[in-house]
Structure 1
Amino acid sequence: MARGVRGSGGSAGGLEVLYLHQHFSTPAGATGTRSFAMARALAARGHAVTVACGRYAGAETGLDGPFRSGRREGRVGAFRVVEFAVSCGNAQGLAARAGAFARYAARASALALSRPWDVVVASSTPLSVALPALAARRARGTPFVFEIRDPWPELPRAMRVGSPPLWFAMDRLADAACRNAAAVVALSEGMAETAAAHGADPSSVSVVPNGADLDLFGPQIVPWRPEAARPHEPLAVYAGAHGRANGLDLLLRAAALLRAEGAPLRLLLVGEGSEKPRLMAEAAAAGLANLSFLDPLPKPRLAALLAGSQIGVQCLAPVPEFAEWTAPNKLMDYLAAGLPVVAALGGRAARLLADGPCGIATPPGHAPALAGTLAALAASPARRAALGAAARAQAVRRWDRRLLAARFCGVVEGAAATPGAARVPA
């Protein structure tokens, strides 16, 4: 099939795009929706897009039919979704997640080799998503875009998760992905530097950050507050994964300090992950009545919660590498919702919050600084309002997801036009 002309089921002028993201979700789910937004944008530009995903905890793929031979598929809006019966989630142990990554890579490789796609988009994490793209590149000469959402093995190595042999193997896979990709998309400048370190041509690397969904989050949303929140109690919300990398013990320590000071503030932790049962047990044992946990919320419900809250909280484990190598999507949700943000982070997030300013960064891992900042904001409605207005303004000015999606589409279209090896039968 010639580039620029679709195969069966498409129309002339568009591309056949295979978009590989194991953790894909529509906004009906409780996890990130970047791949949904980018696939929708590609389809709106006339391309035939197939998204291949697994069954991720908290995700909603938009499909509800039965699985046959371990897969189901159908249309979700303007694009096609193929969902494999491969379950994965943050609550799983390392071995179970590794097995899920391998099974998804195997099923996605078969799909990548099943037809002559014009371009493949491989969105990591997990890093194993590069395997199907590399297989299609080797067998058919199919160009691919490698998207780095979290740099692996840099982050696992920094957190001492895994072992040197595993990190070595992941290094080699990251090298292969970065060197063979027609284009690399990184979510931050720090991630772009890791791509170059793995051998990517710097001219092929584009930074396309996470964006803000200005329609889903914002002042137009009817607010909602959970029953645990008293009517006039300021709410400080953390919405995200409850894993080791998130460092949520810091929020428990801050809650204890706030309780001791009598600060009228409730910390609300929304999400799931392997650390959540332990965190809940420790909060209960410590009698932290000013801290509540909620299950993951669908994006529309989360938008209502943020509309009814007063502060967004960003937290990661105090790992120095997190300063430039992470780009949490929850931060974009807070900004779009017009919430002032308190982040126990340095680096990129701290610089972002200084713009406006739209929030306050505290030293990573420093509970007294975090508690003091939260207490001060809880006592100052005028300052919260000013920071929140600046947050929404920055979201509109810099992070509108529609504008970033257009940039992403340009990278994919450019990759499809990249001269490469001739197509050969699979």
Structure 2
Amino acid sequence: MEGDRWNGRRHGSVDGIEVIEFDLPYSNHAGMLERALVFLRYSWESLLLALGAEVDLIFATTTPLTAGIPGIAARWLRGIPFVLEVRDLWPELPRAMGVVRNPFLLKVLSVLEWSSYHSADACIGLAPGICEGIADRGIPPDRITSIPNACDLELFKPLKAQQSKQPELIRGLASPMPAGSFVAAFTGAHGLANGLDAVLDAASELQRRGRHDIRLLFIGDGRCKHALQQRVKAESLENCHFLPPLPKSQLARSLGLSVHVGLMVLDDIPAFYRGTSPNKFFDYISCGLPVVNNYPGWLAELIRDHQLGIPVPPRDPNAFAEALITLKDDPDLREAAGANARSLAESHFSRLVLAGQWRNILTTTAVRNRWRTNRYLWRFIYFTFKNIADRLAALLALLLLSPLLLFVSLLVRWRLGAPVLFRQPRPGYGESQFQLLKFRTMTNQRDTDGDLLSDAQRLTPFGRWLRAMSIDELPGLINILRGEMSFIGPRPLLMQYLSLYSFEQARRHDVKPGFSGWAQINGRNALSWKEKLRRDVWYVDHQSLWLDLRIFLITIWKVISREGISAPGNVTMPPFRGDENA
């Protein structure tokens, strides 16, 4: 962008998108503390924007992890929908690399990571391992989507048929590339994580074998670049060449016209194996370049399964050098791998296709959660009060009803056997899974084939009485005490129903499930599924303390009058089939 900065900011437009640029000088050569301060300043400036601007959604992408702070604040202080894209797992990667060792700082980063994931309405992971790492922090799978970096198929293109590579066209080298050279290029940051000494080890092995026709090109910058250049000079590695970072258009031209093989190189750290999605890989395959990869993981599997090149073991310069020699000496293999690479880029990683998926997540998240921004402060106070009141009331009820709970437990054990409690996974707030607790009301009788009998055959008169009086629900007080449920809210249904809901019906999970809700006092199991779910969503849009009190009082009357316990002709509600007209 062009123009003057005002108060450390510059406003402009890039491809029709309004952009605000902060005056925050940053370099990979800077020390950890200096870079951390720049990250924090960026987060502070972005936070001020997020809390003041009229926006429909906050999108943040890491690293650094501090990029999520504005989204966290806007989510909880203004109710603005928040989508987080995770490019690296923090603090797992810096811990594994030994870059961050301070236990307190690691704990702070871990809390920030947890807060970012749990504040986000949706998370996008750039690699399978990243998605697994997000899930390990307690985020339900339906809030996690894997969208890797994409291929710009219009900018990065392979040579046309019958054209030959021309390494001599590469400009800006300290010494010119000999004509007829076979060029393997690494593009991107030259940092500790990249482990580029592995490439120099391979260069040394190639030089030892007399393969001076194979040249290694480093394009980029970073903290380790000077040390790499010094080693090249000290060991007289004449087959290594360096270029500064290039504009994307120039990089695409150089890869397409002058480079034969793309290099995927990272330090040998297990955390990298499935938790990275480097842009360079997608640039390489867009250009139809075979890829040599020196670390295990999902990219190595992709290269092997689709025959895109040669994955080699880490810390093995002989194998690395042999892979380059093989690709140089076998043009048919090289051509086939390059064609496979471009084909995969077009079929799986097209920017147009992946951008559509990305846009759909942002749009869906914004639409689904736009109700939250309406009277957000009042809603925040309401939810906070309700959460505290629920837990205190549940604790008090458990204490007061403990004699009854003990008595019913003994009756269930006597009449129905063990176990006393029925446990079943159910979807809670945001479709996160929890274990619903109830008193058992059915036997475990099975037919001659070992299959459970129908509900009607297994429901005993004693169990029917427990349901009629809603006594079977009392163990759910423990769920409320844990914060998994509320006294008032849509009833928690079965996990298998999640994929059957329409977009509108799925909004019933925008609040905690409850003992009783709007549907329960307006027909309970006597309602059709369509009407029941419609009333659940109505409650989501009209929550208030007065509505909760009304539902609570009417629930007491409904329990006494024993209305709507079962659907007509069924001992329980018939299964939901996903038919909106049910």
TM-score, structure 1 as length reference: 0.83
Q: 1:292 to 1:146 in 2, by over 3 A?
A: same
Question: 2:247 matched to 1:298?
Answer: yes
* Aligned partner letter, 2:64: P
Distance in 2 (CA, whole Å) between partners of 1:153 and 1:399 is 28
Question: 2:341 matched to 1:385?
Answer: no
Partner of 2:170: 225
Partner of 1:287: 236
Partner of 2:148: 209
Where has structure 1 moved over 3 Å in runs of 4 or more? 220-224, 419-426
Question: 2:105 matched to 1:172?
Answer: no
Q: 1:332 to 1:368 in 2, by over 3 A?
A: same
Contact 1:141–1:424 at 8 Å: present in 2 too? no
SS at match of 2:236: coil
* Aligned partner letter, 1:160: G
SS at match of 1:216: coil
Partner of 1:181: 120
* Aligned partner letter, 2:95: R
User: Aligned-pair distance for 1:366?
Assistant: 1.6
Instruction: Name whichever structure is richer in strand by fraction.
Output: 1
Contact 1:116–1:142 at 8 Å: present in 2 too? no
SS at match of 1:190: helix
User: Aligned-pair distance for 1:402?
Assistant: 0.8
Partner of 2:15: 77
Partner of 1:128: 66
Question: 2:181 matched to 1:242?
Answer: no
Partner of 2:226: 277
* Aligned partner letter, 2:334: R
* Aligned partner letter, 2:155: L
CA radius of gyration, larger in: 2
Partner of 2:29: 91
Question: 2:340 matched to 1:402?
Answer: no
User: Aligned-pair distance for 1:423?
Assistant: 4.0
Corresponding residue to 2:275 among 325, 334, 343: 325
Corresponding residue to 1:253 among 198, 201, 224: 201
Corresponding residue to 2:49 among 111, 122, 143: 111
Contact 1:73–1:83 at 8 Å: present in 2 too? yes
C-alpha distance after superposition, 1:1-60 (max 9, x if no partner): xxxxxxxxxxxxxxxxxxxxxxxxxxxxxxxxxxxxxxxxxxxxxxxxxxxxxxxxxxxx
Deviates more, 1:214-223 or 1:403-412: 214-223
Distance in 1 (CA, whole Å) between partners of 2:104 and 2:328 is 48
TM-score, structure 2 as length reference: 0.61
Q: Structure 2: any 5+ residue segments left out of the alignment?
A: 378-582
Distance in 2 (CA, whole Å) between partners of 1:424 and 1:149 is 34
User: Aligned-pair distance for 1:116?
Assistant: 2.9
User: Aligned-pair distance for 1:304?
Assistant: 1.2
Distance in 1 (CA, whole Å) between partners of 2:376 and 2:10 is 26
SS at match of 2:60: strand
C-alpha distance after superposition, 1:368-392 (max 9, x if no partner): 1101111221222222111111111
Contact 2:185–2:261 at 8 Å: present in 1 too? yes
Distance in 2 (CA, whole Å) between partners of 1:111 and 1:423 is 19
User: Aligned-pair distance for 1:137?
Assistant: 1.2
* Aligned partner letter, 1:341: V
Contact 1:218–1:336 at 8 Å: present in 2 too? yes
Distance in 2 (CA, whole Å) between partners of 1:202 and 1:234 is 45
* Aligned partner letter, 2:31: G
How many residues align? The count is 364
Distance in 2 (CA, whole Å) between partners of 1:211 and 1:371 is 29
* Aligned partner letter, 1:279: L
* Aligned partner letter, 2:216: L
SS at match of 2:368: coil
Q: 1:423 to 1:138 in 2, by over 3 A?
A: farther
Distance in 2 (CA, whole Å) between partners of 1:320 and 1:359 is 22
Distance in 1 (CA, whole Å) between partners of 2:373 and 2:126 is 31
Q: 1:425 to 1:73 in 2, by over 3 A?
A: farther
SS at match of 1:417: helix
Corresponding residue to 1:348 among 280, 286, 298: 298
